[in-house]
Structure 1
């Protein structure tokens, strides 16, 4: 039973799809096309370049009743095609005519549709006939939901793919509304129905039991079948609780103790990191000093080399002068003779030369003595520098020893302990979640037992979601808003009456349209991440029109109510979504431009509205 349950959950992780291409076509018209990818896709640029038109095209193919606005550029185009790729690697193409609204399906990609005839499918949901766009897309999403309650009397209506669209695609008007994103437009989407859809998506359980509130033999059979399913789920849930209890049997903490222990360890970890940073800083200072000392030593060695070269020159000069003295001596031994020309005596002695040579020798010897002293002094300085270098190296080695043998291993142990506690805490939370889930399942089983036992049982509508699920959902949104840097400190609560989030103690309407756009974006993305985390059905496509264009943050330079555009939030928004690549797709249509470092990591289009610069817009400029 337990293995079967986990296999079913694993299957859901492979469910869902992403839009891989969008094409607008018409007879004798150049195709207007964009390709998209898993992860983040951003289409930005000037106004009136087709960004909102792209949203309307996707919405229309996904069953919207309103055609895309008839803009001048779209004249002559007659059909919209969307290629979708599933996460189990299948490719389909959906086509919808702009003329008559008919829909068609191809079991292939956009480039291969010419190879096969299209299959016409219904453009309205019909739970009794699966040959329609809604049943097809619900199947790809892993959703087997049939009915949701539409009024407080317990009457039901079909769950359709449009119910997913309303909480995953926000157009430029809806995204700034102060009401919860779960409340859809249109008269047929009542408050009770919208809340029932939200509960179904968040719990994975539809309202088939409320089928027209009839107590008949057929309903008894359905109730019995439902009891069988619930009994299986109860057994599976109990097994999970027992497994988690076994894993936690040596743990005597409650959730508050876990949080406190994790917080205390993080404080200690922070202190150790500060110590490491201080030592690293000190090591850097030593390193800088070491480079200066080495430079000084190199300079002294260069000076010493030049002094030794000068010393050799002095010694060479002394040898030359000694040779002159010796030559003068031998010259004095020669016999006096007469000059054969003028008959005068040769001068054999030059006293002035002897004196000059002697004086020069004394001078060079004095300079050589002074030079030798200077060389000795330089050598002593070199020894001093070498000792200082050795001392600095010893200090650096001491710091390295402390870092590598003491602090960093402790840091690793702290991280391991924190990870261990977080894992245990999450298991503790998971057990609490399953305990509450078990209680709900048992109540639901008992409820259906009453239906079987008593034909007059009155059904009541309750669209509340259990508190553990709400806490998980709020934590997901809190992390999103923290990643997007919308405020320095974030708290997120859930208003059960309005079915919306409360941020830092304030309702969404207190923040204005810009904040509403970001909070609504966080709400629908939070639903996606929540369903993925719990293995619940979801198409896994989010389309947002202008989530950032109207966003403004508080001007920190003033305490007034004036606001300025906060680029930090916009950059953080794009940076975070660019990291979410596996098993989900985001299509952002906005005037805001992603940071330069994000653009290479995502699928990005920039419409210029300038025929001579880049791409003009979604629809090619007709020539």
Structure 2
């Protein structure tokens, strides 16, 4: 069978510079900041491959047409051309990069049809050489033609599906499609489509029997009785959109007010911390001043006593006769001038002690003066902070007054939104019940003989081994033992279902599923479109032991081995869209686009609005 390689994605608009990326036939990595159009590239590729709509973004204003260049294994070049809101797709049998007035080689509808060839699904399936293959439609054994969208959903994976809890096999999330989605994987793993055979009665038909219509009517009436709003689904959706817009505006304003309040609260805490430190220091200063005041009184008392001792010594030394007052000697034993010498020595001792005490007293007074100045400064700072705290309290009060009505309004809007969502859920259930009622036959057919429609065990085991080898090559922690349950379509790694794992492991296992399917089928010549587009396969993964690390960043060793494996053992064409910067070691072997990142030449997928058109 043939395979497809994506060559380029180009947006054109009158008077607008082209917005384009070219894809490597091997590995292309598009990374950079959020809101730069990375995921829009994945959505645009999916839209060109037959998705029903492409939700606009502000950056695509003025652009009217999308071109998707493709190369077929047999050498043909194709360009799919589609307007941003068109239901038809033009096909040109050449590489087209600009507006053209030449007629298209084919004009096709985007919806698959089993009765017409004029749609993009049948056209691409015919290019691949697999048009007309059949898969199961439902559990009754009815079959339908393979749709190219069945393959695209397994090859072009957006970020929400990448990390979602739903099995990678169950691509739409609709219960009525599960049988068909499991059958698609069986077709890819085995290469054999489903034979047409007798069909069995459905589950609903078996349960309701002869009273099936009456029971459904009763359920429909019960659900209609639960409706409380006199509006149809379209009107309800419009109301819901308006409420969501109002809620977004209120949330944005509340966020700004809360951020301002948080800043003020932090500032108040800082001022209170500074004030507490100053109050403590002021208390210490006051304690020191009290102690130094006692010491000052002691010094002044000592100086007064020294003065009195000096005066008493002079008086005693000059006027007293008889026994010496200094040494106790009697007059007959005293030397001439004895009193004069002793008086001189006393005066010298008193003077020396007086000088020492005076110096200490003077130093103490200087210290007391410094401490009193510190106390005054601290008191002034505390008074100033008290004014600042009062002003902050006033601002916080004003913010609380602004937040209170917003909180009330937001609660009311959320309650109203919940009521609308409940109404829409009831309408959806009514539609489902009406569809079931319309599909019921008048009589139950005879059950056909049992027929095997599961995937052969050998093919399941082979695919499990392929995923195991991929996870091992990426050095994802664990033994990476993979099991696939064809009944539930659940993939388990090391005994744990993927749906029960964390977001990072769900993403990496989904990526391994898509890459392994492409690698296995390419190597065996089995059915596969030939390309894989993965949005955020490794962004949210982290090693189990790094529990304190940022949960939004993947460890560099797994990232390194992830990209190295895609280069060393290419599963075909792979396009990776990530926020994180890829390893520098792959720069020479892969085509890399950096959007609004360090050293990047492009701010995003679309040129700046003021950039003039080229050509």
Give TM-score scaled by structure 2 length. 0.55
**Shift, 1:46, TM fit:** 0.5
Task: Map 1:356-395 onto structure 2 (within 5 A).
Answer: none
Q: 1:198 aligns with which of 167, 174, 185?
A: 185
Q: Secondary structure at the match of 1:601?
A: coil
**Shift, 1:500, TM fit:** 2.8
Aligned match of 1:150:
137
Aligned match of 1:28:
15
The answer (yes or no) to whether the contact 1:102–1:120 under 8 Å persists in 2 is yes
Q: Does 1:542 align with 2:528?
A: no
Compared with structure 1, are the counterparts of its residues 506 and 121 closer, same or farther at alpha carbon in structure 2 (3 Å cutoff)? same
Q: Does 1:465 align with 2:455?
A: yes
Cα deviation code 1:544-585 (max 9, x no counterpart):
1111111122125x699989731211111111112244744x
The answer (yes or no) to whether the contact 1:611–1:621 under 8 Å persists in 2 is no
Aligned match of 1:532:
522
Greater Cα shift, 516-525 or 491-500: 491-500
Root-mean-square deviation (CA, aligned residues, Å) is 2.8
Aligned match of 1:97:
83
Q: Quick one: distance in 2 between partners of 1:612 and 1:493?
A: 42
Q: 2:495 aligns with which of 490, 505, 508?
A: 505
Compared with structure 1, are the counterparts of its residues 35 and 500 closer, same or farther at alpha carbon in structure 2 (3 Å cutoff)? same
Q: Secondary structure at the match of 2:139?
A: coil
Aligned match of 1:590:
578
**Shift, 1:84, TM fit:** 0.2
Aligned match of 1:496:
486
Q: Quick one: distance in 1 between partners of 2:549 and 2:575?
A: 35
Q: Quick one: distance in 1 between partners of 2:200 and 2:114?
A: 18
Q: Does 1:136 align with 2:123?
A: yes
Greater Cα shift, 185-194 or 73-82: 185-194
Compared with structure 1, are the counterparts of its residues 89 and 615 closer, same or farther at alpha carbon in structure 2 (3 Å cutoff)? farther
The answer (yes or no) to whether the contact 1:166–1:182 under 8 Å persists in 2 is no
Compared with structure 1, are the counterparts of its residues 136 and 563 closer, same or farther at alpha carbon in structure 2 (3 Å cutoff)? closer
Q: Quick one: distance in 1 between partners of 2:548 and 2:595?
A: 37
The answer (yes or no) to whether the contact 1:16–1:87 under 8 Å persists in 2 is yes
Aligned match of 2:316:
none
Q: Quick one: distance in 2 between partners of 1:172 and 1:34?
A: 20
Compared with structure 1, are the counterparts of its residues 622 and 498 closer, same or farther at alpha carbon in structure 2 (3 Å cutoff)? farther
**Shift, 1:142, TM fit:** 3.1
Aligned length: 364
Q: Quick one: distance in 1 between partners of 2:560 and 2:93?
A: 39
Compared with structure 1, are the counterparts of its residues 208 and 63 closer, same or farther at alpha carbon in structure 2 (3 Å cutoff)? farther
**Shift, 1:539, TM fit:** 0.6
Task: Map 1:262-281 onto structure 2 (within 5 A).
Answer: none
Aligned match of 2:112:
125
Aligned match of 1:381:
none
**Shift, 1:509, TM fit:** 2.7
Q: Secondary structure at the match of 1:31?
A: strand
Q: Quick one: distance in 2 between partners of 1:51 and 1:114?
A: 30
Give TM-score scaled by structure 1 length. 0.55
Task: Map 1:379-528 onto structure 2 (within 5 A).
Answer: 458-460=448-450, 462-528=452-518
**Shift, 1:518, TM fit:** 0.5
Compared with structure 1, are the counterparts of its residues 154 and 79 closer, same or farther at alpha carbon in structure 2 (3 Å cutoff)? same
The answer (yes or no) to whether the contact 1:210–1:459 under 8 Å persists in 2 is no
Q: Quick one: distance in 1 between partners of 2:173 and 2:27?
A: 30
**Shift, 1:59, TM fit:** 0.6
Q: Quick one: distance in 1 between partners of 2:561 and 2:71?
A: 28
Q: Quick one: distance in 1 between partners of 2:84 and 2:505?
A: 35
Compared with structure 1, are the counterparts of its residues 488 and 563 closer, same or farther at alpha carbon in structure 2 (3 Å cutoff)? farther
Q: Quick one: distance in 1 between partners of 2:571 and 2:169?
A: 25
The answer (yes or no) to whether the contact 2:16–2:63 under 8 Å persists in 1 is yes
Aligned match of 2:560:
571
Q: Secondary structure at the match of 2:154?
A: coil
Unaligned runs of 5+ in 2: 202-447
Unaligned runs of 5+ in 1: 1-13, 215-457
The answer (yes or no) to whether the contact 2:533–2:576 under 8 Å persists in 1 is yes
Q: Does 1:604 align with 2:592?
A: yes
Q: Secondary structure at the match of 1:205?
A: coil
Q: Quick one: distance in 2 between partners of 1:186 and 1:488?
A: 29
Cα deviation code 1:453-485 (max 9, x no counterpart):
xxxxx1546442111111111111111001101
Q: Secondary structure at the match of 2:588?
A: helix
**Shift, 1:531, TM fit:** 1.5
Cα deviation code 1:28-76 (max 9, x no counterpart):
2111111112111110000000011101110111000122x21111111
The answer (yes or no) to whether the contact 2:37–2:604 under 8 Å persists in 1 is no
**Shift, 1:116, TM fit:** 5.5
Compared with structure 1, are the counterparts of its residues 616 and 100 closer, same or farther at alpha carbon in structure 2 (3 Å cutoff)? closer
Q: Does 1:110 align with 2:96?
A: yes
